[in-house]
Structure 1
């Protein structure tokens, strides 16, 4: 006696081939949706460098106010450093490296004077634009240091960081 079960009641579930095709398609979609880890790492390095620039500037202001003495910091490729020349002492505690550990590939450009000066009441006496970029990342971040309180804005630099710098090209980030 033959059973007609297979013709009348199809089996429930999916075949192994169907499951493998769905898993493969989901894997392809996932790789397209997730940005590459190196791009994310470069963006995090840029964000961290911009934060460190802000922290160094704030520390310089606080040091001048705390010590009740004008002081200065110099911005180099490695971050905030004691000034190499000038009449003002370095702001105590203001030295802040651009990267947390090791040597980074970050590029720093600015139109700041050799030394950024701070008054005894913590006001910034020199302003300008700082642009931080990475050779393998499309976006550059920027920091506009306005007078007398320091930072007036930060964001994404919408120009070529290797050409003449303009604070008008420092626009708020979309995110």
Structure 2
């Protein structure tokens, strides 16, 4: 105790940070935040697109599973645009709202997918249906889902409009 009192009497501080040290730490944290925030925002936007794809995939699988288990035809309607809702005759867990994610496809809108009692997709054409999800005015990787005609197989992947096929599946 006696030593501490002597140090204080002479004007020497024994703890804490100096003003230049605090300023240096604040500047370093500011630079790190400025570098990290855009990456975090991009990750968050990609997460939103991935979650919307999971909702679409889940709704299609649920519709197919209910068609098989109930032995009847089930439909699901997939509209185009932003803030859309997937509506289906056999969605026991409810309709799916996709929020600010944009959904698009080359079918007439809404694209009505029908699964028969065997879980088969009987589309009017032999071309597999592909839909893709993206955020408007954003650079995140669009995601896609391809639904085959016949057995109703579904595959997800990254959407590339310049590639063949456009849905590069996982």
- Say yes or no: TM over 0.5: yes
Deviations 1:97-146 (A, max 9, x none): 233xxxx3322111346321112122233341111111132132211112
CA contact (8 A) 1:62 1:122 kept: yes
Residue in structure 1 matching 2:101, options 88, 97, 106: 106
Deviating 4+ runs (over 4 angstroms): none
Residue in structure 2 matching 1:64, options 54, 62, 67: 67
Deviations 1:19-72 (A, max 9, x none): 522441243023203436544443232122111100110111111111101222
Map of 1:168 onto structure 2: 165
Paired with 2:94 and 2:105, the residues of 1 have a C-alpha distance of 17
Is 2:85 the partner of 1:79?
Answer: yes
Residue in structure 1 matching 2:121, options 113, 117, 124: 124
Map of 1:158 onto structure 2: 160
Q: Which runs of 5+ in 2 are unaligned?
A: 1-16
| Distance change (3 Å), C-alpha of 1:131 and 1:64 | same
CA contact (8 A) 1:72 1:116 kept: yes
Task: Normalising by structure 2, report the TM-score.
Answer: 0.68
Helix, strand or coil: the match of 1:52?
A: helix
RMSD after superposition: 3.1
Paired with 1:44 and 1:54, the residues of 2 have a C-alpha distance of 15
Paired with 1:49 and 1:143, the residues of 2 have a C-alpha distance of 11
Paired with 1:111 and 1:58, the residues of 2 have a C-alpha distance of 21
Residue in structure 2 matching 1:29, options 24, 32, 40: 32
| Distance change (3 Å), C-alpha of 1:119 and 1:96 | same
Map of 2:6 onto structure 1: none
